[in-house]
């Protein structure tokens, strides 16, 4: 089972120096913590800091893991209320390729 540190490292590798996001995104994973993707800085930066972001994606850890493993469709998760987005929804949609494991 993955933990927050390993998932953060995976996302950091997927984001690389330039993710093309151009904005900041926070993944709020409840009790597990947050993953903050600064796609506006050059190079891009991924941390576990809880800072304001252009878009915040909130979901339970188990749902996040299912989504990253391809077992949960992002659109279905959103429609079922398992995934909530505040802020810029267009930026959140660009995340899908970065979250795959």
Residue 52 lies in a domain: yes
pLDDT in tens for each of the 101 residues of the chain? 589 999 999 999 989 998 888 999 999 999 999 999 999 998 999 999 999 999 999 999 999 999 989 999 988 999 999 999 999 988 877 887 777 65
Looking at the structure of the chain, the number of domains it has is 1
Structure tokens at 86: 């505040």
| CATH number, position 84 | 3.30.1050.10
Domain that holds residue 19: 4-96
d(CA 79, CA 15): 26
Distance CA 78, CA 36 (A): 20
């Amino acid at each position: 089972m993955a933990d927050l540190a390993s998932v953060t490292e995976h996302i950091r590798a997927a984001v690389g120096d330039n993710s093309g996001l151009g904005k900041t995104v926070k993944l709020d994973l409840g009790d597990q913590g947050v993953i903050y993707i600064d796609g506006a800085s050059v190079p891009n930066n991924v941390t576990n800091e809880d800072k304001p972001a252009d878009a915040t994606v909130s979901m339970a850890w188990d749902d996040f893991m299912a989504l990253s493993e391809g077992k949960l469709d992002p659109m279905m998760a959103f429609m079922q209320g398992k995934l909530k987005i505040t802020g810029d929804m267009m930026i959140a949609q660009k995340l899908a390729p970065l979250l795959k494991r």
